[in-house]
Chain A
Amino acid sequence: MTTPTIDESREVEPPPSKKSRRAARIADAASVGWKLMVFKVIALGIIDALAIYAALVLIQSEQWVPAVVVLAITAVANWVYLSRGNLPAKYLIPGLVFLFVFQIFVAGYTAYIAFTNYGTGHNSTKESAINALMLSAQERVPDSPAYEVTILEQFGEYSFLVTDPDGEIELGGVDRPLEPVDGAEVEDGKAVGLRGYTALKFAQIVQNQKAIADMAVPLSDDPNDGSLRTPDGSVAYVYLSSLEYDEAADTMTDTETGTVYSDIGTGAFTAPDGTELMPGWQITVGFDNFVRAFTEESIRAPFFSVLIWTFVFAFLSVATCFALGLFLAIVFNDPRMKSKKYYRVIMILPYAFPGFLSALVWAGMMNQEFGFINVVLFGGADIPWLTNEWLAKISILLVNLWLGFPYMFLICTGALQAIPDDVQEAARVDGASAWQIFRRIKLPLLFVAVAPLLIASFAYNFNNFSLIYMLTGGGPRDVTADVNVGATDILITMVYKVAFVGSKADYGLASAFSIIIFVLVATISVIAFRRTKALEELN
């Protein structure tokens, strides 16, 4: 608030002399309350500290890009709040930061995922995949005995002091096959120490467990005999690896069959016959996911019927909810209506219940044989509310009407009350009927206010996953169809079924679909908003 005054004073004195600048500074300093200053200093200080701490943590875990972003944003925030002027930025910065974190970043990340094969079997880096493959390739030699082991250390190198099941004591290390040793200290039949070596206690083993867990001590010179590994630091078992990783050639070899799996750029080690070793890793796949979205049989076949139902569902949901909401709003807005307050509270109740819970309750009420609707309302009728293709669609719309009309009722009530009475009175004086007043005056004025909300509501219902999922699960399904898509599936529930089959998740495909759906909804919204602008100009 103070800055404009200073700017003005500068404008008044065009040649800024030393004096005038000092005067401006004094004026500036005097005009800002010291409390505000203290608050600013403390708040910025805390934010800076947290940012520096976050950056340090990020740098430690080698996350360079986020660290730079955090520091850059903090630097910009400091500059904005410490400099004079930049008034708009001072107000906008917090909003912009949140916009970036919660909107732009999320949208950008989704777009990025859409171009990768991220999903079950491809959820990490190649390094982790190799690590996991090597871990699970370790196979204990069947019926091989357990060896008691003591971990010894000498000059920073670890050795296994092994007491084999026959009581023989041997020593070995990485690349040093087991060899018998004499003079070991023995306790209860287990060798626990050797001269010149330090035996590690459990705490010391734990401290160096990564190194010790990675140790493989060959049983003999012949690698096919296997090697000893210890999973817990006190007992060792003989393992053979069923896979061998050749770092130079970047291939995995199956030691039993000799099959060579190589990295052919598909995000997994692949054999010549096309078999893939799982886990693979995450790679970018270009437009593959988008191509699949339009060509895969399980998606393409039902796509258009699902798309049409999605539009019908979203449009009818908005239309029915708005019609009922508006009707009730007009009724309750009538001055002749008594005890409006209480009715309004009851009207809003469905809005207050969590939607997915209501959907579950409705699913129970619509049970064909035992549900409340058939048993009580229809006196024991046998109406297949949720299991008949067409009735299920109507049920979905009914339940959504129940869930959605209070919202429309609320906004219509608000908008109606905002329409000035004198306009209506003028119309009445001119001899307009009640219907004409509604149709020609109230409705257009109402639309100016609620049209954007109707568009938003359309976009919301276009992706109304929880209602469909909880009420019908997309069903009923036609069992003679080849695909897992039901009569009430909308685009988003179909995508869910296609991208997340059982325990398999394909985030890449799901993200590609989100983008396609986003483009659809955005296009419709833009067109609709253009129309509402025209509406505004008319008024």
Chain B
Amino acid sequence: MKVNKRSIAALGAITAVSALTLVGCAGGGSNSGDDKASGGEITVWVDADRAAVLKDAAKEFTDDTGVKVKLVQKEFGEIRDQFVQQVPTGKGPDVAVGAHDWLGTLVTNGVVAPVELGDTKGDFEQVAIDAWSYDGKVYGVPYAIENIALVRNTDLVAEAPTSYDDMIAKGKAAGTEYAFLVGLDPEAADPYHLYPFQTSFGAPVFGTDAEGGYDPADLQIGNAGGQDFAKWLAAQGAKGTGVLNTNINGDLARENFVAGKAPFFLTGPWNVPAAEEAGLTLAVDPIPSAGGKPAQPFAGVQGFFLSSESENSLAATEFLVNYVGSEEVQTALYEVGGRTPALTAAYEAAVAKDPITAGFGAVGADAVPMPSIPEMGAVWEFWGVTETAVINGTGGDPVALWDKMTADIEAAIK
């Protein structure tokens, strides 16, 4: 480099500008350092709906303990993958919101730590605790239970059906275009919405192990009940009664129900506001059994979980167990989300106030947690397509198709 007076001067000036900018940067840096010394800070990833509620809880927590809570808003669906990627780099949060079926991924990646609920464990609904348990340990503080139930238009049918056949008979008697609606997909049917009918034949996806968790080695989907379910699906499909139609997707099903074209709609609380806005009077009934055994839908449980790399695990646990797990916060979360609260006290208060919540809650109490084990991925891969083929009668003998699916799932799990 040719050094001349001019570049020396320039270098000097650059150094001065740099120093000024650095002072600016460092100013911000030292501030955050001071915060750490005066009681610490926990970072919480939360979605927009939950953020407002947590803001109040966080303020209370800070007032009580002096620990600051930094709420970072994230898109709910993106939290899982970002959490998995960022926790190992040390940039992850201490606490994040999520769904229980992420647990398989989170635990396998070693990014979550168990949360010791201690004696408050009994204060939560059993299904919520079961859902957030993995290998016998609880990994989160649940706040909401979400499940489907049978929504009935009371103007069309006055009484709850006692069985699937009764429901179809009542639906036909109502004289509407459809007797019963459920949203399916032309490519992958919808195993989630059809699952209660499957369990009513006694065919859960997995058996359970000694600790009550799902056992991937014990695949139950292809048992005799599963084969009966396949036959039943074919009988309700295109070549049978035609009640199940894979061309009616979730949006079409909702539109038709809201338009009063069917008395029954198998769906979750997310479709209730649309129907209520249209002026329908609704009742939420237990899902009628098709195979004689109880019809148990999947429950999805949302909750808050703790990072395994958290430097603030004591403060974060305190925040989770005693603030997020409090009745006040659980009720507030219920009010913004509309999902049944996971804390029994909040659950009972919500159920007493709102018959719709009570209906979903009653079904949810018998629901089974959606399996969170990683092996579930292999099941989804084959499940829906096979259901579509069975319903549409395109793949030949339903039982043979079901057996083929079971064999494929078994092969994929191994």
0/1 string, A28-42, CB within 8 A of B gives 1: 110000000100111
B2 touches A83 (CB 8 A): yes
Q: Known: A123-B84, A206-B65. Is A231-B317 also a contact (CB below 8 A)?
A: yes
User: Which A residue's beta carbon lies closest to that of B105?
Assistant: A503
Q: Known: A473-B187, A480-B395. Is A25-B247 also a contact (CB below 8 A)?
A: no
Q: Known: A45-B13, A202-B65, A278-B108. Is A370-B252 also a contact (CB below 8 A)?
A: yes
Q: Known: A28-B6, A49-B25, A504-B105. Is A123-B85 also a contact (CB below 8 A)?
A: yes
CA distance A79 to B11 in the complex (A): 10
Q: Which of A98-106, A133-141, A457-465, A527-535 contacts B (4 or more CB under 8 A)?
A: A133-141
Q: Is the CB of B401 closer than 8 A to any CB of chain A?
A: yes
Which of chain A's residues have a CB closer than 8 A to the CB of B38? 203
Q: Is the CB of A121 closer than 8 A to any CB of chain B?
A: yes
Q: Is the CB of A213 closer than 8 A to any CB of chain B?
A: yes
B314 touches A230 (CB 8 A): yes
CA distance A386 to B186 in the complex (A): 8
B247 touches A368 (CB 8 A): yes
Q: Is the CB of B18 closer than 8 A to any CB of chain A?
A: yes
Q: Known: A369-B247, A480-B404, A501-B377. Is A231-B66 also a contact (CB below 8 A)?
A: no
Q: Is the CB of B4 closer than 8 A to any CB of chain A?
A: yes
B386 touches A25 (CB 8 A): no
| Residue among A206, A212, A279, A480 facing the most chain B CB atoms (10 A cut-off) | A206
B113 touches A135 (CB 8 A): yes
A45 touches B39 (CB 8 A): no
B88 touches A125 (CB 8 A): yes
Distance between B6 CB and nearest chain A CB, rounded to angstroms = 6
CA distance A66 to B111 in the complex (A): 25
A82 touches B13 (CB 8 A): no
B110 touches A124 (CB 8 A): yes
Which residues, 93 to 130 on B, are CB-close (under 8 Å) to A?
A: 101-102, 104-105, 107-111, 113-116, 118-119
A46 touches B21 (CB 8 A): yes
User: Which B residue's beta carbon lies closest to that of A371?
Assistant: B247
Which residues, 466 to 480 on A, are CB-close (under 8 Å) to B?
A: 472-473, 475-477, 479-480
Distance between B140 CB and nearest chain A CB, rounded to angstroms = 13
Which of chain B's residues have a CB closer than 8 A to the CB of A175? none
User: Which A residue's beta carbon lies closest to that of B67?
Assistant: A206
Residue from A125, A135, A203 in contact with B65 in the complex, judged by beta carbons closer than 8 Å: A203
Which of chain A's residues have a CB closer than 8 A to the CB of B245? 369
Q: Is the CB of A209 closer than 8 A to any CB of chain B?
A: yes
Q: Known: A83-B7, A368-B186, A503-B374. Is A129-B110 also a contact (CB below 8 A)?
A: yes
0/1 string, B308-349, CB within 8 A of A gives 1: 110111110110011000000000000000000000000000
Which of chain B's residues have a CB closer than 8 A to the CB of A477? 187, 385
User: Which B residue's beta carbon lies closest to that of A84?
Assistant: B2
Distance between A479 CB and nearest chain B CB, rounded to angstroms = 4
B108 touches A48 (CB 8 A): no
Which residues, 202 to 221 on A, are CB-close (under 8 Å) to B?
A: 202-203, 205-207, 209-210, 212-213
User: Which A residue's beta carbon lies closest to that of B313?
Assistant: A213
B308 touches A79 (CB 8 A): no
Distance between A509 CB and nearest chain B CB, rounded to angstroms = 15
User: Which A residue's beta carbon lies closest to that of B22?
Assistant: A49
CA distance A206 to B62 in the complex (A): 12
Distance between A387 CB and nearest chain B CB, rounded to angstroms = 6
CA distance A53 to B18 in the complex (A): 10
Q: Is the CB of B240 closer than 8 A to any CB of chain A?
A: no
Q: Is the CB of B220 closer than 8 A to any CB of chain A?
A: no
Q: Known: A123-B85, A138-B114. Is A207-B105 also a contact (CB below 8 A)?
A: no
Q: Is the CB of B14 closer than 8 A to any CB of chain A?
A: yes
A503 touches B187 (CB 8 A): no
Which of chain A's residues have a CB closer than 8 A to the CB of B248? 369-370
CA distance A473 to B249 in the complex (A): 15
B11 touches A472 (CB 8 A): no
Which residues, 221 to 256 on A, are CB-close (under 8 Å) to B?
A: 230-233, 235, 237
Residue from B17, B312, B408 in contact with A209 in the complex, judged by beta carbons closer than 8 Å: B312
Distance between B339 CB and nearest chain A CB, rounded to angstroms = 22
A52 touches B104 (CB 8 A): no
Q: Is the CB of A44 closer than 8 A to any CB of chain B?
A: yes
Which of chain B's residues have a CB closer than 8 A to the CB of A40? 10
A124 touches B109 (CB 8 A): yes
Which of chain B's residues have a CB closer than 8 A to the CB of A386? 186-187
User: Which B residue's beta carbon lies closest to that of A208?
Assistant: B314
Q: Known: A83-B7, A128-B309, A131-B309. Is A146-B84 also a contact (CB below 8 A)?
A: no
Q: Known: A209-B315, A367-B249. Is A128-B110 also a contact (CB below 8 A)?
A: yes
Which of chain A's residues have a CB closer than 8 A to the CB of B394? 479
Q: Is the CB of A333 closer than 8 A to any CB of chain B?
A: no
Q: Known: A46-B17, A484-B381. Is A121-B114 also a contact (CB below 8 A)?
A: no
Distance between B331 CB and nearest chain A CB, rounded to angstroms = 23
B376 touches A136 (CB 8 A): no
User: Which A residue's beta carbon lies closest to that of B372?
Assistant: A503
Distance between B204 CB and nearest chain A CB, rounded to angstroms = 18
Which of chain A's residues have a CB closer than 8 A to the CB of B404? 479-480
0/1 string, A473-496, CB within 8 A of B gives 1: 101110110101000000000000
A79 touches B1 (CB 8 A): yes
Residue from B114, B308, B317, B408 in contact with A232 in the complex, judged by beta carbons closer than 8 Å: B317
Which of chain B's residues have a CB closer than 8 A to the CB of A45? 13-18, 20-21
Which of chain A's residues have a CB closer than 8 A to the CB of B135? 136
B395 touches A479 (CB 8 A): yes
CA distance A205 to B39 in the complex (A): 9
Q: Known: A230-B314, A231-B115. Is A120-B249 also a contact (CB below 8 A)?
A: no
User: Which A residue's beta carbon lies closest to that of B396?
Assistant: A480
Distance between B356 CB and nearest chain A CB, rounded to angstroms = 28
CA distance A491 to B248 in the complex (A): 30
Q: Please give me the 6 A-B residue pairs with the lowest Cβ-Cβ distance, nearest first.
A: A502-B377, A45-B17, A132-B110, A279-B110, A49-B21, A124-B88
27 contacts between A and B (CB under 8 A): A45-B13, A49-B22, A50-B25, A120-B84, A120-B105, A121-B109, A123-B88, A124-B109, A131-B308, A132-B113, A136-B114, A136-B135, A136-B308, A138-B114, A139-B137, A203-B67, A210-B313, A231-B313, A235-B118, A279-B107, A475-B188, A477-B385, A479-B385, A479-B386, A482-B411, A484-B381, A484-B382
Residues of A within 8 A of B (CB): 25, 28-29, 37, 40-42, 44-46, 48-50, 52-53, 61, 78-79, 82-84, 120-121, 123-125, 128-129, 131-133, 135-136, 138-140, 146, 202-203, 205-207, 209-210, 212-213, 230-233, 235, 237, 278-279, 364, 367-370, 386-387, 472-473, 475-477, 479-480, 482, 484, 497, 501-505
Q: A120-B84, A128-B309, A146-B118 are in contact. List 4 more A-B contacts (CB 8 A).
A: A131-B110, A133-B110, A206-B65, A504-B105
